[in-house]
Amino acid sequence: MPEEIYPSSFRCDCGMESHHFENTIQEMKNISKNRRQVLNADDGEHTIIFQHGKFVAMYCPIVNKEILASK
């Protein structure tokens, strides 16, 4: 399961880590309260998915599907 590394980093099951500014992540979480929001990871291939104000999943191109985050 992909995981959020507080305050603004994410790690995929394949080992890829993506680091962002805290303000960017806060903004994505706020926008996602109204609608699903996606953020491209550092490598440009992985996608971080937010919904209902939380990190919910990550798309991994290696397994070619969305992997749900732990709750």
Q: Report the predicted TM-score, pTM, of the whole model to 2 decimal places.
A: 0.90
Q: 19 is written with which tokens?
A: 């680091």
Distance, CA of 55 to CA of 62 (rounded, Å): 20
Q: Residue 71's pLDDT is what?
A: 67
- The number of folded domains in the chain is 1
Nearest to 59 by CA among 20, 13, 24: 13
- The pLDDT of residue 42 is 87
Q: How confident is the model at residue 46 (pLDDT cuts 50, 70, 90)?
A: very high
Give the pLDDT of residue 70. 80
Percentage of the chain lying above the pLDDT 90 cut? 89
Tell me: the pLDDT tens digits for 9-39? 999 999 999 999 999 999 999 999 999 999 9
Which residues span the domain enclosing 37? 3-68
Spatial separation of the C-alpha atoms in residues 12 and 4, rounded to whole Å: 9
